[in-house]
């Protein structure tokens, strides 16, 4: 299985800045057979960046999209419009859940729309600090995982990437903490156990599971060696060329 290194740029970079940054990334990294490097710029940047993309080195992801393909939905961008432009889409990120109040029902529709339009969804799941403190991690992970997969068929589940992002460990979160490899391993096992219970052992093994939460070059190696982790979803460090490319090099060494 490939190792996935996904940079979520969030609401950063103008079109011009994103273009220059992508050029620098592609100039600095090599073509890695077993490592999939993915960047997720703002929606405004996707089309122009797609024209300069070296797909053997970098793939594009959307940060978000709407679950209806067409219609009277002012201001929205659909997965249908992104078909052929991006290979991946981030769905269910904690910022979408807690700032924009997207629930599991909406996220499930987005996962289905993504797959329907031949885009691989990166389904983000993770508990808050209070949920972990009250011993609710297992319930939250199960509800968000199975809720997010509820609108697709069993034969489509292996097309999904699952990203475990504990909200309490995201660097943009106030008083963020660092997740330990043992804490991550425990939840990754929960994810694969849930997948195995519902969809069988084969699917549970085929679904890539990523980790995201204050990932830096100094801890990327430890996270990538956690059993069952197949890659990283990176926020702040993906905006800094030296850190992002260093993480890619760490992934290469670990692989």
Any idea which residues carry the catalytic annotation?
93, 165
The per-residue DSSP string of the chain comes to --EEEEEE--S---HHHHHHHHHHHHHH----TTEEEEEE--HHHHHHHHHH--TTTEEEEES--BSSSSSS-TT--BHHHHBTTBSEEEES-HHHHHTS---HHHHHHHHHHHHHTT-EEEEEE---HHHHHTT-HHHHHHHHHHHHTTTS-GGGGGG-EEEE--GGG-TTSTT--PPPHHHHHHHHHHHHHHHHHHH-HHHHHHS-EEE-SS--HHHHHHHHTSTT--EEEESGGGGSHHHHHHHHHHHHHH-
Length of the chain: 255
Q: Kindly give the interhelix angle for 43-52 and 15-28, rounded to the nearest 10 degrees.
A: 40
């Amino acid at each position: 299985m490939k190792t996935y290194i996904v940079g979520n740029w969030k609401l950063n970079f103008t079109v011009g800045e994103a273009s220059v940054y992508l050029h620098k990334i592609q100039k600095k990294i090599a073509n890695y057979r077993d490592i999939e490097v993915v960047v997720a710029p703002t929606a405004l940047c996707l089309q122009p960046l797609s024209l300069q993309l070296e797909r053997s080195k970098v793939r594009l992801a959307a940060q978000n999209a709407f679950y209806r393909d067409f219609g009277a939905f002012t201001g929205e961008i659909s997965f249908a419009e992104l078909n052929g432009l991006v290979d991946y889409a981030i769905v269910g990120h904690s910022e979408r859940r807690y700032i924009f109040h997207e629930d599991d029902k909406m996220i499930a529709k987005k996962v289905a729309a993504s797959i329907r339009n031949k885009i691989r969804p990166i389904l983000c799941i993770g508990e808050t600090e209070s949920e972990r403190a009250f011993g609710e991690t297992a319930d939250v992970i199960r509800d968000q995982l199975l809720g997010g997969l509820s609108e697709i068929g069993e034969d489509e589940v292996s097309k999904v990437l699952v990203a475990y992002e504990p909200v309490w460990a995201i660097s943009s979160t106030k008083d963020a903490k660092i997740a330990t490899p043992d804490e991550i391993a425990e939840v990754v096992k929960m994810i694969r156990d849930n997948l195995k219970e519902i969809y069988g052992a084969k699917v549970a093994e085929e679904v890539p599971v990523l980790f995201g939460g204050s990932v830096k070059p100094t801890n990327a190696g430890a996270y990538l060696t956690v059993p069952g982790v197949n890659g990283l979803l990176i926020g702040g460090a993906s905006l800094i060329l030296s850190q992002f490319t260093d993480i890619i090099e760490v992934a290469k060494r670990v692989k």
